[in-house]
Structure 1
Amino acid sequence: MTMTDELAHSAARGALFTMGAQLARILLQLLSVVILARLLSPHDYGLLAIALVVVGVGEIFRDFGLTSASVQAPILTNGQRDNLFWINTGLGAGLAGIAFLAAWPVSWLTGQSDLLGILQVLSIVFVVNGLATQYRAQLMRALQFRALAVADIVSAAFALGGAVVAALLGAGYWALVVQQLAAAAILLVTLVWFGRWLPGRYSRQHDVRGLVAFGWHLVVTGLITYGAAQIDTIVVAAKFGTTSLGLYNRAFQIIMTPLNQIRSPLTNVALPVLSRAQEHRERFDHFVTAGQLALGYSLGLPLLLVCGMADPVVTIMLGPQWEAAVPLLRCFAIAGALTTLSFVGYWVYVSRGLSRQLLRYSLVSTALRAVCIIAGSFFGVIGVGIGFALAPAIAWPVSIFWLSRITTLPVRPLYGGALRMLSASTVTALAAWAASTAAMPVAGAWVALVTGLAAAAATAGLLVLIPPLHRDVRTLTGFGRLMLRR
């Protein structure tokens, strides 16, 4: 087996294990909601949600981009790995102290005295996650995706068990805190077990300044991205009130939460593979174009189907009283499909060590999103949704152009693959829309959904006969065989 075949096989198997683990985690999350929601109150969840906002911001600094830095580095010595371990551990300890002290002003500002104890206990998570960071990075670097999948599933399962026991014993919101702490602690233990190494002492002889500089750019990029993600929520809340925000938020969560849970872990597979292939242009270009096809058809097609069948989807998932969320759901489905295409650009930036350029592009794309959302807000909540979808439609070609100016990139295959995927998915989605719209008033939401899916399947079967699309199917089929081959 050639090196290209080995990397392709590793990528495919990694995607299989990662997707399997992520689906298992999604099922565990659903199970967690079903069980714990019957044992705890909405107030308990509200307290944890506020606390996790603080934890989420701190986690950006705690990682400091050093996971990606160590994964993408062409050469990483044991000494550099040890130094990065202690840097992440030190950052985790420092952030734990900050979070512990910040608990007082946060509880005072929110008027929730219970947050004091919750935040102070959750500050331990920073230390535990700091210890685990480089163990996860090294398993990613070694393409040990099965170990990562097992670690994620085991930690989530045991954490849910601990939370359920605590809730049954009457712990209230502390059951949710137990779940967070148990997940972090068990994940650390399993990562150390699979990693099979113990860090040495920090030594200045092993220079990590370049890796830290790379990570710093990712930290700033992460903060910008985090801030950009809040723009639409702030605009809707400020201009249209909580009822409109509720509609907006529910439609957003239906699309973006599962999308991010699937898309982000795939980055853990793509980055080490692309980092290894970056010295060989032809192999790198092949993986980039194949990765876009795989993302586009596996995620983009289902998202556009949701766009086409938004009426039955909203009725089934939220109920008929949420009918006003239908156009918003369509906007988010389109935005999800377009941002999935641009995700490949992020892989290229990070795998080639272009963190400074990624930061600059993030500033531009954030400004673009803000302009589109604010301009759309003059046309109501639906206008905000349209602006949200328009932003990635503009940002994706800008990203391809930007990247092509600073590094080698298979521009024509990327544009061609995206055009084929979007065209085929749009035609399929229109067929699903026509069938479901005809069935909805007569037979109800479930029959409309099944009818729409049947129409989509028939349309997709006909489209596959078109030679370029048939070649795409062969590429994806080959990728599937690599997944299943041992």
Structure 2
Amino acid sequence: MFSVHVSEPARDELSVGSSRSEGILLDVSDREEGQGKSLAQSAASGILVTMTGQVLRIAVQVLSVAILARLLSPTDYGLLAMVAAVIGVADIFRDFGLSTAAIQAKTLSRAQRTNLFWINSGIGLILAIAVFALAPVIASIYRQPALVDIAQVLSVTFVLNGVATQYRADLNRKLAFSTLAVADVASPIVALGGAVWLALSGAGLWALVGQQLIQYSVMLVIVAWGARWLPGLPRTSVPMDGMLRFGWNIVVTQLINYVSNNADYFIIGLRSGAVALGNYSRAFQLLMNPLNQVRSPITRVAIPVLAKIQDDDAAYGAFLLRGQVAMGHSLGFVLGVAAGAAAPITVLFLGGEEWSGVAPLLALLAVAGVFQILAFVGYWVYVTRALTFRLLQDSIFSSSVRLALILLGSQWGVIGVAVAYALAPALTWPATFWWLSRFTTIPTRGLYLGALRIVALSGVAVAASWLTTVWLQDAAAIVSILAALLTAGLACAVVCAALPPFRRDALAILDVARRMARRSSR
């Protein structure tokens, strides 16, 4: 709803250098008999559908801001943001990790699905009541009496989201990505239309509140219709302990990440003031929020596919390697260009000398983004192999390192915090693969080598784009950015053509693209 800042020791590891591994890496097709299409094709088509939906969703969000900003005041947005910042913590508990528990389960009976539905709906209702009752407290924190009514009305969204949670999980488990994409795009479009009508009618702030209610109501209708099932009565005889433990570990992990991911904002505001925090938040929202929105649909596809092949170590490891390569090089290239061309990007999107301090922060956060994606496939393993307690331990370790570095870096102001934010994942990502290899079978060596290749190629993109922007420093921002993209692309293409390991990565990415294109043409 509201944004929030993610057995036996390994044997017979799959090496990228082995012929067996290479064959699997380049073709994970038809592993599951009895299905009309391969999981590889399902994954490719799923990525295409979800990425298309995500692009459309982001476009609707931008359009919403552009339209409503002309009809409403900054104060309206500020009041809504105050409420969202507080009740966003409660939203972590609304899902309780049970949607992920349902998706990754090897088997899920109708009775278990029904129980999960009532658990999520009950949690949503309890949270709605809690937020409604605590609305005066929220208002007193900000000394804004108007927040009481806003918080109480928005509390209804917890109920709507609680009811919708297992419908979305069921669609995800069935790989029904088209229905999910329709829900993700149609609901904000309808909500935008309603908000515009309310704003033109003079509703002011309540246009934004109405937008939230409409969006989640439409979302619920679409996913419930798409899932095409109705819950029965809950049954206490059905075993749920394993799923609840799974969900609890996810919740605690999310809480730890919430604190860790918001520590930089708190410390910058406390030590460096509003101007520094404003620059940092603009850089973060310009780069990290879109990055998270792109990673989300990829994970939405990867987890159910990996859950289906979790007992086949060869296919499972090959999918991890392919996923790391496809996601890492694609996002790493974009982040590399963002780091190298941070100055003209800042001018293009923010403009003016007053935002000049954003450019170095943007570059550092882009570097942080590259290191963050290196071990992101580890999250897929933690979830699909039901290692959520190990994920919790990993999160505690990485969050502790990040907090310590941010506290140390804050001695040098906002730049020090940004350096710390980039340094933390650079130091902790290797630990993720090592930690996982102690409890499950993963292609550890292949994942390490793949990560190093992603860093190397991202570094090529950084260097090429930076040199281009320095050469074109007097050109228009858009010209510098386009030129940086072109030169970085050419430089990376040369590396891929000259070095076999990078060439194999490029072929694997092209194969994923081919599958997506073939699926879209049907």
Q: Shorter chain as normaliser: what TM range?
A: over 0.9
Aligned equivalent of 2:335, options 294, 303, 318 = 303
Identity score, percent: 47
Distance 1:203 1:479 in 2: 43
Cα offsets for 1:194-216 (capped at 9, x unmatched) = 10100010001211111011101
Partner letter of residue 113 of structure 1? P
What is residue 408 of structure 1 aligned with on the other side? 441
Q: Which 10-residue stretch deviates more, 382-391 or 337-346?
A: 337-346
> C-alpha displacement at 1:460, in angstroms?
2.3
Alignment of 1:352-367 (within 5 A): 352-367=385-400
What is residue 265 of structure 2 aligned with on the other side? 233
Distance 2:352 2:78 in 1: 26
What is residue 457 of structure 1 aligned with on the other side? 489
What is residue 328 of structure 1 aligned with on the other side? 361
Contact 2:99 2:166 in 1 (8 A): yes
What is residue 318 of structure 1 aligned with on the other side? 350
> C-alpha displacement at 1:445, in angstroms?
2.1
What is residue 433 of structure 1 aligned with on the other side? 466
Distance 2:91 2:493 in 1: 45
Using CA pairs under 8 Å that are at least 6 residues apart, name the structure with larger relative contact order, 1 or 2. Answer: 2
Q: Say if 2:227 is the partner of 1:199.
A: no
Alignment of 1:61-72 (within 5 A): 61-72=93-104
Q: Say if 2:307 is the partner of 1:275.
A: yes
Q: Say if 2:170 is the partner of 1:105.
A: no
Query: What's the TM-score once normalised by structure 2's chain length?
Result: 0.91
> C-alpha displacement at 1:2, in angstroms?
2.0
Contact 2:30 2:40 in 1 (8 A): no
Distance 1:481 1:457 in 2: 19
Contact 1:314 1:320 in 2 (8 A): no
SS of corresponding position for 1:485: helix
Q: Say if 2:110 is the partner of 1:82.
A: no
Contact 1:306 1:313 in 2 (8 A): yes
Alignment of 1:10-409 (within 5 A): 10-321=42-353, 322-409=355-442
Partner letter of residue 61 of structure 1? F
Listed as ranges, the gaps of 5+ residues in structure 1 are none
Contact 1:235 1:377 in 2 (8 A): yes
What is residue 445 of structure 1 aligned with on the other side? 477
Contact 1:440 1:447 in 2 (8 A): no
What is residue 8 of structure 2 aligned with on the other side? none
Contact 2:321 2:447 in 1 (8 A): yes
Partner letter of residue 360 of structure 2? P
Listed as ranges, the gaps of 5+ residues in structure 2 are 1-28
Count, aligned residues: 485
> C-alpha displacement at 1:130, in angstroms?
0.7
> C-alpha displacement at 1:341, in angstroms?
1.6
Cα offsets for 1:167-217 (capped at 9, x unmatched) = 111100100111100111000000011101000100012111110111011
Partner letter of residue 478 of structure 1? D
Cα offsets for 1:321-357 (capped at 9, x unmatched) = 1112211111100001111122111111011101111
Partner letter of residue 474 of structure 1? L
Higher helix fraction: Structure 1 or Structure 2? 1
Aligned equivalent of 1:3, options 31, 35, 46 = 31
Cα offsets for 1:258-291 (capped at 9, x unmatched) = 1111112221111111111110000000111111
Contact 1:295 1:341 in 2 (8 A): no
Contact 1:61 1:219 in 2 (8 A): yes
Partner letter of residue 16 of structure 1? L
C-alpha RMSD of the superposition: 1.2
What is residue 19 of structure 2 aligned with on the other side? none
Distance 2:108 2:169 in 1: 11
Distance 1:411 1:168 in 2: 57
Contact 2:329 2:457 in 1 (8 A): no
Q: Which 10-residue stretch deviates more, 318-327 or 178-187?
A: 318-327
SS of corresponding position for 1:204: coil
> C-alpha displacement at 1:451, in angstroms?
2.2
Distance 1:317 1:401 in 2: 40
